[in-house]
Amino acid sequence: MCPPEYFAVQYVINPWMDTATPVDAELALKQWTGLREALVRLGHTVHTLEPRPDLPDMVYAANSAFTVDGVVYGARFRYPQRVPEAAAYQAWYEAAGWRYVTPTETNEGEGDFAYLPGAYGGLVLAGYGFRTERAAHAEAQEVLGRPVISLHLVDPRFYHLDTALTALDDATIAYFPDAFSAASQRVLRQLFPDAVIADAADAEAFGLNAISDGRHVVLNAEASGMASKIAAAGYVPVPVELSELKKGGGSAKCCVAELRP
């Protein structure tokens, strides 16, 4: 995770960003701290990266890379405002001893990749349509040695896979069907017939931008409907207030890069 000490909406690269709506920097840091503390209370180790004043979106650590089996497939950001983030995160991964692979294709890390180790022997779901190029899916498959399923995102509000789909455990997902093309919806129904289905209100509240350890699901407190669906499916929702981070187009998941040794 990376604290939002310099977080601000200084430009617009997704439909949630509005430069006319100021960010309460103190509240953003308080909410981010609440998210980190929730993860620590659940027994997780949280590493933090030093933020840079010239990179206001560094708080969205999930976009920095995608790790599977100790291998880090690095990010290559679409928009120039975020491009320098990749090198900052690469330095952290390499200093921590991870095997880092520099990408040649545009991709935004866990923003557009999800890993389900218990599904079909270990399956990667990958989004494209707004940020990550489909060619990056093939590159990720070669780097990680795991099958990658390409899913076409069609609603600009849900510009990253992690705004439209989340892994609830090693083999189960929740997703918002209308964020995907008709063909991708058919693929998801075939692969995950028992998925938790979100509605528009759930997705708009960033209820799918969640982090799960297989039992506890940490998600935006605004997404009360999604929390109810998760609880009905047998998981324990852990709501966290993240209204300020949502102003940049992210929530719980966006703020966390998961490390998979």
> Which residues form the catalytic set?
160, 254
Q: How far apart are CA 258 and CA 261, in angstroms?
A: 10
Instruction: Give yes or no for a contact between 202 and 137, defined as CB atoms under 8 angstroms apart.
Output: no
Continuous segment of H or E residues that includes residue 225: helix 224-232
Q: Which two tokens stand for residue 135?
A: 């060619």
Q: How far apart are CA 148 and CA 219, in angstroms?
A: 26
Report how far apart the first and last C-alpha atoms of the chain are (Å, whole number).
Answer: 17
Q: Which two tokens stand for residue 258?
A: 């998961």
Which stretches does DSSP call E strand in the chain? 65-68, 71-74, 99-101, 113-116, 123-128, 148-152, 165-167, 173-175, 196-197, 211-212, 216-220, 236-240
Q: What is the number of residues in the chain?
A: 261
